[in-house]
Homo-oligomer: A and B are copies of this chain.
């Protein structure tokens, strides 16, 4: 049995916080010896990726203290408890099983009377059969014509993750002859969101996926009604154009309103659901079930690496520990995610949800208030675009913001052009490595406007190309990093009570059951 303790009860954490030793990033990354540091300070990930942390403000002494914290906090053992089926989500009394969609890491997990790995793989097989039939035209519209477009209706985890994954692979799929159906997403209750998507697609050849675990999410049911109205207005039968991804106990599960229903369960939170039927249905329809299987394989291979208790062999655990060091020892409150890949344009928004919704907590897993900082703010945009925008503050602002870069040797489309002796892809890569060095080492200048203090830490995940396996591995890396940080902070990373109060108050506004400022604001917006 592991022991769940706040970090400030652990001697390794107290030692880390009281230690005045610091790694001088500028010195460590300057001069000839710095090449060796870049070679040494990296950890192999799966799918040919590496996690490189030479530009983080750590040295061997700090790393050994972080290993001690990993050991004393029993991080590896806690992950083992999780994947073996312990009730890790204590607040909601639930298991946490998203990794199990990707493969079996430990013992069989039996819940609700079934083997959960079998349950997830069974749903994947159902999705594969369904998407194959759609691609072959065996499942088609009322005229017997093939569906060409798939539209996911969902919000939060049912939207951000699957949307980011779709965008990440769309160009790869085109280049590799794998784009079976174009995907769109409707999420916001703003009626202009649904209206805009519906105007841009060919309704008669569109298949809609309604994603709601409970079958009661306000935005999603509202948008479903919006879509059904549009289908009927076009003379189409909604039941012939819709499938559901939901829990077996939801009202949607056995409804005749859907061509098919695929199941998820309470053991996978929305923000962790890209690996489940929530991501599986739309990605299998868009790219084929084989591509989704490759994505899961990449994620599973990463999960396996992330079980290792040695932080020099476990990239997610190491990343988590360095993040805690930056947050609780160095006092940095924000992290930027900066992929040098246009395909990852919505990946920072997904990580923002994953990290901030999981670890933005002020009580520990027993409901006790905390006296230390937990999850940071996460934001980001793709490079090189960000270089011409908010990087100014990252370089010369009054706060230090740790940076997470992601870069690939090869682009996805294979199209490129040589200008002034280099390809665009080479320019892209040259820019990311240049930025790492500029942030780490800065530059002296007699003109204070042109002076860069340096000492601004970053890490980079480097890969060959953003393909399905690499994408799965990167996703798993960050999910596991967030999980390990939650373990260190002794919080429950798998509930989200902070989203409830607003929902309740919105209902009161719509029922005109409110007074004081809330009523006054409602009048201001003429509700």
Q: A391 at the A/B interface (Cβ < 8 Å)?
A: yes
Interface of A is mostly: helix
Q: A125 at the A/B interface (Cβ < 8 Å)?
A: no
The reply to whether B35 and A515 contact each other, CB–CB distance below 8 Å, is yes
Q: Which residues on B sit within 8 Å (CB–CB) of A447?
A: 367
**CB-based nearest B residue for A509:** B430
The reply to whether A222 and B510 contact each other, CB–CB distance below 8 Å, is no
Contact with B along A414-452 (1 / 0, CB 8 A): 011101011111111111111111101011000111111
Q: A133 at the A/B interface (Cβ < 8 Å)?
A: no
Q: How far is the CA of A222 from the CA of B492 in the complex (A)?
A: 48
Copies in the complex: 2
Contact with B along A202-232 (1 / 0, CB 8 A): 0000000000000000110111011001000
Q: Which residues on B sit within 8 Å (CB–CB) of A334?
A: 333-334, 377
Q: How far is the CA of A349 from the CA of B386 in the complex (A)?
A: 10
Size band of the interface chain A makes with B: 35 or more
Q: Which of A384-425 contact B (CB under 8 A)?
A: 384-385, 387-399, 401, 407, 409, 411-413, 415-417, 419, 421-425
- Report A446 CB to chain B, min CB distance, Å: 10
Q: Which residues on B sit within 8 Å (CB–CB) of A50?
A: 524
- Report A404 CB to chain B, min CB distance, Å: 15
Q: Which residues on B sit within 8 Å (CB–CB) of A194?
A: 415, 424
Q: A188 at the A/B interface (Cβ < 8 Å)?
A: yes
Q: How far is the CA of A388 from the CA of B88 in the complex (A)?
A: 22
Contact with B along A494-518 (1 / 0, CB 8 A): 0111111111111111100001111
**CB-based nearest B residue for A339:** B190
- Stretch from A137-145, A278-286, A340-348 that touches the partner: A340-348
Q: How far is the CA of A425 from the CA of B449 in the complex (A)?
A: 47
Q: A134 at the A/B interface (Cβ < 8 Å)?
A: no
The reply to whether B434 and A38 contact each other, CB–CB distance below 8 Å, is no
- Report A422 CB to chain B, min CB distance, Å: 5
The reply to whether B174 and A199 contact each other, CB–CB distance below 8 Å, is yes
The reply to whether B218 and A391 contact each other, CB–CB distance below 8 Å, is no
Q: Which residues on B sit within 8 Å (CB–CB) of A369?
A: 448
Q: A356 at the A/B interface (Cβ < 8 Å)?
A: yes
Q: Which residues on B sit within 8 Å (CB–CB) of A427?
A: 189, 218-219, 222, 506, 510
The reply to whether A516 and B34 contact each other, CB–CB distance below 8 Å, is yes
Q: Which residues on B sit within 8 Å (CB–CB) of A417?
A: 191, 222, 225-226, 229
The reply to whether A516 and B433 contact each other, CB–CB distance below 8 Å, is no
The reply to whether A396 and B361 contact each other, CB–CB distance below 8 Å, is yes
Q: A160 at the A/B interface (Cβ < 8 Å)?
A: yes
